[in-house]
Amino acid sequence: MREQDCDSLSDIGTWFEPDEQNDTNPVPETSGSVANPIESPSVAVRHPSRTELSAMFFDIETVPDYSRLESFGLEPLPTIQPETAPAECPEIAALLKSGLEVIEKRLLSLNPTDEYLDAVSSTEALTDKPRVGVGKAVAAVKTARERVKNAAGDRRKLLSVTPEYCRIAAIGWAVPGGDVESSVSSLTCGEHADCDTTDERTLLEAFWSLALECRPLIGFNVLHFDLRVIMVRSALLGVMPSRFMDLKPWGRDVIDLMIVRFGSASGAMGLKKLAPLYGIELPAAGVDGSQVEELMRTDPKKVAEYVRSDVAITRELYRKLSGFFCE
């Protein structure tokens, strides 16, 4: 090895150093021989990189912005009338005396409960010649109801993940302090008594203030989602950015761990699926993004815990990948 090659490797010690307390088998001095690393182990102690000591880890949670729904120009959702209580539905024996076409129309117009529909099916099954059409009529009502339910769920998801359709409900972050293990902070936005602020502008101003002091920003899928939502919402609410943010995947302003690991969004695993594979604990394992809208109405503290959990997971994943996929 050339002398300059040796010098260029000297910085490795800034990342990993032997733990002297655990180094019970120091490498013996030898002449002309190399110690077997398997026979002479040393425990590596990780030191935070310069990048981590100046970075901000962050995550946001979003919900539909229903206050602007009329401006979105989306197609109306399919609707179905409210369920009719069994007591208000026709007597089942009388209903089953009708023809199949009449039965199906009656059931679709009434939209009875599953209890009533199941009773119709079981009653027909006990007749001498059960008609397949009755089962199809019952299935048609349940399918129509499921179609409406799925359409509503798909619409909520679209409104929650499209920057122009959503609003920020919570933001979490961890910034360097005197202790690299500084706690994770958060703000939640809403009218509930447990929310930190009623004003989304406060969340955005807090983000831009932190972004001015910290570089790079580190998150998971932040180039495709979080940062674009922050910028769109800032533009809509008139919150001026504290600095320009380079959103190129190879830029120096942002480290997106999803892009770092997978190269693109295509085929990427989610953060919650990755965490156990790297031995990372899920602090808020009982909550997922689909619950955020309801929790903002009922228990915003859980949303705050959830967004802080994602920041903590992101920071641990960065540490796992640091030195391999990122600095």
Give pLDDT, residue 7.
44
- The residue-averaged pLDDT of 198-212 equals 96
| pLDDT at residue 266, rounded to an integer | 81
pLDDT tens, residue by residue, 131-142: 999 999 999 999
Measured CA to CA in angstroms, residue 132 lies from 100, 114, 119 at distances of 9, 18, 15
In terms of pTM, does the model score above 0.85? no
% the chain with pLDDT above 70: 84
pLDDT of residue 68: 95
* Residue 318, pLDDT score: 96
Q: Over the stretch 250-289, which tens digit does the pLDDT of each residue have?
A: 889 999 999 999 998 788 999 999 999 999 999 988 898 9
- 39 pLDDT band, cuts 50/70/90, is low
- For the packed helices 132-161 and 114-125, what is the interaxial angle rounded to 10 degrees? 160
pLDDT for the residue 177: 67
Dist CA 60 CA 267 (whole Å): 22
Name the pLDDT band for 8 (thresholds 50, 70, 90): very low
Q: Is the pLDDT confidence value at 216 over 90?
A: yes
pLDDT at 264: 82
95's tokens:
């209903």
pLDDT confidence band for 21 (50 / 70 / 90): very low
Q: Higher-confidence residue: 3 or 239?
A: 239
Average pLDDT over residues 107-130: 94
